[in-house]
Amino acid sequence: MTAILQVTIRGRVQGVGYRAWVEDQAAACGLEGWVRNRRDGSVEALFSGPPRIVSEMVALCRHGPPAARVDNVISETATEDALNLRRAGERFSVLPTI
């Protein structure tokens, strides 16, 4: 079984290496998905993989890298279509800001 969760992280999460940290953590966990900054100052990510591993990744996002300050993390179930936003041939992509 595969879980797909889309996560929005708010706080001081841009300009602190948050996207690179998410990419590294997701790769270490063997997850698929993507991460990107949003113009409102939040970071958005999508994780796909075994449900327990996806849940652990969302929990990690509540802390983030050392320079980050996470105020809020919202996660919701996503679809295979959302997963397909990643770049072709990549397991995990850092996408442009929207």
pLDDT in tens, 79-92: 999 999 999 999 99
pTM: 0.96
Inter-CA distances, 97 with 44, 51, 53, 56, 59, Å: 10, 27, 26, 25, 23
Residue 68 lies in a domain: no
State the average pLDDT over residues 3-12.
98
Give the helix/strand (H/E) hosting 77.
strand 69-77
Please classify residue 73 by burial: count the beta carbons closer than 10 Å to its beta carbon, then call 0-12 exposed, 13-18 middle and 19+ buried.
buried
Number of domain units in the chain: 1
Residue 41 lies in a domain: yes
Length of the chain: 98
Q: What is the span of the domain harbouring residue 20? A: 1-46
- In tens, the pLDDT along 19-31 reads 999 999 999 999 9
Catalytic annotation, residues: 19, 37
44, pLDDT greater than 90:
yes
Residue 34 and residue 95 in contact, taking contact as beta carbons nearer than 8 Å: yes
Residue 54 lies in a domain: no
Residue 32 lies in a domain: yes
- pLDDT on residue 40: 98
Residue 67 lies in a domain: no
